[in-house]
């Protein structure tokens, strides 16, 4: 089992745990908005470490980001499988190609 799948399984298993015993349960009990806020904070911390350029600290912050991303998804009923399917659907299509297609659809607006 890969690390993300293991983590997702643990998060799902903590849904009904006591908020006194589980950080995941505590976060989920505060609602999706709080989970989203926490994800945002962790993302900013990862950005700071990416700019500073310390690989070990960035690795640690990236792990926090991935954990809090999964909790945010769980709070809104989106599964890791849902995201994996979306990624698979994009496989093999260059981001540049996808952006060009969107530009054509919107009549030439750039971004
Ligand atoms: N991967 C994680 C994980 N990453 C981060 N965190 C917690 O996220 C919390 C972040 O809180 P804070 O913002 O207060 O911490 P911080 O970012 O250091 O902020 P400052 O203190 O710097 O302000 C900390 O309590 C971390 O321990 C995690 N908590 C749990 N997991 C996984 O989830 C599983 C279930 O954990 P529980 O739900 O706690 O049983 C664990 O076995 C782990 O695998």
CA separation for the pair 101, 25 (Å, rounded): 42
Q: 64 CA distance to ligand 1 centroid (A)? A: 7
pTM: 0.89
The closest-lying atom of ligand 1 relative to the alpha carbon of residue 42 is 17
Tell me the mean pLDDT in the region 55-67. Answer: 98
Q: Is 23 in the pocket of ligand 1 (CB under 6 A)?
A: yes
Place of tokens 């006194």: 20
CA separation for the pair 28, 48 (Å, rounded): 26
The closest-lying atom of ligand 1 relative to the alpha carbon of residue 45 is 17
Place of tokens 């994009």: 90
pLDDT in tens, 1-38: 799 999 999 999 999 999 999 999 999 999 999 999 99
ipTM of the complex: 0.89
H runs (alpha helix) in 1-111: 3-14, 23-29, 32-52, 55-75, 80-90, 95-105
Q: Is 64 in the pocket of ligand 1 (CB under 6 A)?
A: yes
| Res 109 pLDDT > 80 | no
Domain 3-78, architecture per CATH: Orthogonal Bundle (1.10)
Place of tokens 């009990």: 29
pLDDT in tens, 63-80: 999 999 999 999 999 999
Domain boundaries, the chain: 3-78, 81-111
């Amino acid at each position: 089992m890969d690390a993300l799948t293991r983590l997702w399984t643990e998060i799902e298993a903590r849904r009904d745990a006591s908020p006194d015993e589980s950080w995941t349960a505590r976060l989920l009990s505060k609602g999706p908005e709080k989970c989203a806020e926490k994800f945002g904070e962790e993302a900013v911390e990862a950005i700071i470490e990416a700019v500073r350029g310390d690989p070990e600290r960035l690795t640690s912050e990236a792990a926090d980001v991935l954990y809090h991303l999964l909790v945010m998804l769980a709070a809104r009923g989106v599964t890791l499988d849902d995201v994996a399917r979306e990624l698979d659907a994009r496989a093999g299509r260059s981001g540049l190609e996808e952006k060009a297609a969107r530009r054509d659809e919107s009549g030439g607006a750039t971004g």
